[in-house]
Chain A
């Protein structure tokens, strides 16, 4: 029943870093942090399009929430200005709170969806918010088994 990895002896040699895919920023709406939701061709066989799009869209929503210019942001900004921005030394900003939420979300997504498919998402903050780096781990023991495992996984849905 094990998909990519048939037994533990194989596991040692089985997975290796095969490739990395970089999801670029989408600047069509300005400098707000937003990533392209299109599934790259390298991941076509590894993950379902809808799952991937959901992940990226949720991340985009989180970033939009962090960068939202609204009542709360104005209040924070005005309060900060009045205190000569000293509150930034003591207080966690809304942006940082959302970034923590994002890390938890990415961790959860990796656990549930990406690691079983031999993929790993890097938090964009680790890459200067420029790219979402997705590492692709291949089953090295036999190239055929990885293909069969991914078809097994996709047919298993």
Chain B
């Protein structure tokens, strides 16, 4: 067994970043409040509510979609429902109300949820990957697109190298050029919802289009019923239309949208049942010469199982950790050196935490509660002892700071309740963990 013994130090006792006395650190800390990762996110996205809401930079026609739905439904409730309630049943506005809520809520969730964006690779990972590529193939001046073949459930799948995100894309992942992100299980970029549709928000999107087609059909049916009832007797259809002009608007909107919503719902139901994405279907990734989708290695070979897997499967977490904190001394450096570094490197340096060990050093150095029972240690030496992995690491960091150090800042773990303040985990990150241990001389 190992000869080192470890005594856990309370991470809370290690002090806060604000207590660092180094002049450069002080200057940086004074001017910068702790920044969240969404503020330095490299993709083309916009964030609201302090990172809780994410949308694509071009929100497309989301306002139009929302506007059409809300206006049509409101007109329906105001102008058609009173007549229908008196002539038919109260259930009509109730059903319409439920459908309307479903549509709006799922639309907003589709638009504002991270679709499954993959964070870009850190420079060390990139170096590691590139080294492997160079080892396996010949190095020509213009290398061909880098691909890697793997076997999934008996099918050969080619993984492509993403030059923007600097990594081999996992299977079913695609890079969205509009959002400039790699998205897992990429379906398509939907301008109507103003976001990509991917692994994390596909179920919202599917529920949205299905409930929208129900709503559209329901409103269309009710409006036609309303006009028919009104035109009974001597009135005639045209007079009924004149009496209720709003119904005309609803009729037109619903008539033109019902084809697309029903069509889309049907298409996506087919995709869900065969566990395909729009991207794969359009490219014909898995279709054989007979036109059957028998080659799909992700299918569970059962319609019910596929539906359950896609729609009722576990909800994966967001990988980009929008609301996690960056270490306080990361940002200013890249503003100065960003023009010299490759844009990806500059962005990535801020995105991932390069200065964590320096911060850690200061944190540890000024802890007043570091305990040491080392026989040969003075208190000062004990503090120095604590610094040992990171003192040398920070000395390794070059001025351009291209060396990445693997210690992330506190990760926001409370994403399941986005409206509460996130709990900042100090102890479970590597920084906290290595802080908490010291080596005793036995």
Contact = CB atoms under 8 A, between A and B. Distances in A.
Q: Is the interface of B mostly helix, strand, loop or mixed?
A: loop
A6 B70 CA distance: 72
A125 B118 CA distance: 11
Contacts of B381: 8-9
Given A89-B418, A107-B433, A130-B118, A28 B151 contact: yes
A86 interface: yes
Contact of B1 (A96, A111, A156): A156
Contacts, number: 203
A51 interface: no
B393 A89 contact: no
Interface stretch (B226-234, B262-270, B331-339, B382-390): B382-390
A7 interface: yes
A75 to B, nearest CB: 8
Contact of B434 (A7, A73, A89, A115): A115
A147 interface: no
B58 to A, nearest CB: 24
B243 interface: no
Q: Which size bracket describes the interface of A in this complex?
A: 35 or more
B118 A128 contact: yes
Interface string B21-34: 00000000000000
A101 to B, nearest CB: 11
B359 interface: no
A7 B378 CA distance: 13
Interface in A99-142: 99-100, 103-104, 107, 110-111, 115-116, 120, 122, 125-131, 133, 135, 137, 140
Interface stretch (B12-20, B278-286, B306-314): B306-314
B125 A30 contact: no
Interface stretch (B84-92, B250-258, B403-411): B403-411
Contact of A110 (B184, B415, B433): B433
Interface of B: 1-4, 6, 101-102, 105-106, 109, 118-119, 121-122, 124-125, 128, 150-153, 157, 159, 167, 170-172, 184-185, 203-204, 207, 297-298, 305, 308-309, 311-317, 319-320, 374, 376-377, 381-382, 384-385, 387-389, 391-393, 396, 405-406, 408, 411, 413, 415-419, 427-428, 430, 433-434, 437, 439, 441-442
Interface of A: 1-3, 5, 7-9, 11-17, 20, 22, 25, 27-31, 66-69, 73-74, 76-78, 80-81, 84-86, 88-96, 99-100, 103-104, 107, 110-111, 115-116, 120, 122, 125-131, 133, 135, 137, 140, 153, 156-157
Given A27-B150, A29-B152, A130-B121, 20 more contacts: A5-B439, A8-B384, A9-B381, A11-B388, A13-B388, A16-B389, A17-B389, A22-B128, A27-B157, A28-B150, A30-B152, A30-B298, A31-B184, A31-B298, A69-B308, A77-B203, A94-B314, A104-B428, A110-B430, A115-B6
